[in-house]
Amino acid sequence: MKLLVLVVAALYACAHAGVTIQNEIGDNIKAHLGRQELQFHAGSTVITDDDQQLIAELQTRETQDRNLVANAIRDALEGFRDDVINGNDVLPPLDPFHVPHIGPFEYSATAIRVRGNLHNFQMEGLRWYVVDHVTFNTLRLALGVQITVPWLTFTGSYDAFARVALVTHNAGGNYRVFINRLQTSVDVRVGTNILGGGTLILRELNIDIVIHNINIQIDGMVGSSLLNNMINAWVQNMAQNLLRDELEAFSQLLSQQLFDVVAEFLANFTLDDLLG
């Protein structure tokens, strides 16, 4: 191919120097070289072995970059388990998580008034969370995380006072709430602000919370064990309906509430910090 180019270049120089080939053999040579020149300039769509190797290297590099970010986030989430158990400078230990007193809670309606307090509230099970998957898309700067907590328990005691018209009632006892398989999915997409020095901008934040099953047991609401069991069954059904009907709305509300908080946090970082 190089020889052909040199020959064409030489002929082009000779033509401009006034050298002509006028015999039949010369005409055939010029015609042949003209056809070869056209073939030389025609593009080729054949993917060579070198092209295949380059494509594979680029795909491997993209996968490695994507995995580096995803693995770094996974490692950070796994490292947070120690903070859940022992706490840190900002957070107290979260498993078990103990609060001596919560309340009072109050509810009022026409001729109805309810007031209550929780005592020795304790949550257990958070330390057993599992990082199901972490995904990162370099081109879209999109991050997806799913975490499953196999079980959670909330235990403690309560006291309550209720007035319905002229009838008053005092109640008190223990409670236990058991959550089976709580899944939390977080999808985040960010961008960069070039004018602001390449700082990160939060574009999307979607949180989805799913609870597969919940069991609630409360004693001491009334003196009769039969009535107490009936109230527990009513509370259980109400809780299941709440999970089915309201948890999606709660997830959307939580996403909206946390959007500004996460956006402010990301404003302290650049794209290099994310990919580095």
Say yes or no: 31 and 130 in one domain.
no
Say yes or no: 208 and 258 in one domain.
yes
Q: Is residue 205 part of a domain?
A: yes
pLDDT at 10: 40
- C-alpha distances in Å from residue 160, one per residue of 1, 5, 29: 94, 97, 108
Q: Tens digit of pLDDT for each residue in 33-72?
A: 444 444 444 444 556 666 566 566 555 555 555 577 788 8
The range of the structural domain enclosing residue 21 comes to 2-37
- C-alpha distances in Å from residue 174, one per residue of 4, 82, 258: 95, 30, 33
Say yes or no: 7 and 83 in one domain.
no
Residue among 74, 184, 182, 210 at smallest CA distance from 125: 182
pLDDT at 238: 83
Per-residue pLDDT of the chain (276 residues; tens, 9 = 90+): 433 333 334 434 444 444 443 444 445 444 444 444 444 444 445 566 665 665 665 555 555 555 777 888 888 899 999 999 999 998 899 999 999 999 999 988 888 888 999 999 999 999 999 999 998 887 788 889 999 999 999 999 999 998 888 888 888 999 999 999 999 999 999 888 766 557 788 899 999 999 988 999 999 888 778 888 888 888 888 888 877 778 888 888 989 989 988 888 887 777 776 665
Say yes or no: 140 and 79 in one domain.
yes
Say yes or no: 22 and 144 in one domain.
no
Say yes or no: 130 and 32 in one domain.
no
Q: Is residue 56 part of a domain?
A: no
Say yes or no: 77 and 151 in one domain.
yes
Total domains in the chain come to 2
Q: Is residue 48 part of a domain?
A: no
Say yes or no: 145 and 229 in one domain.
yes
Taking CB atoms within 8 Å and a gap of at least 24, the contacts of 61-66 are: 62/138, 65/138, 65/275, 66/136, 66/137, 66/138
Q: Is residue 106 part of a domain?
A: no
- Which DSSP category does 110 fall into? T
Q: Is residue 119 part of a domain?
A: no
Bridging pattern class, strands 142-164 and 97-109: unpaired
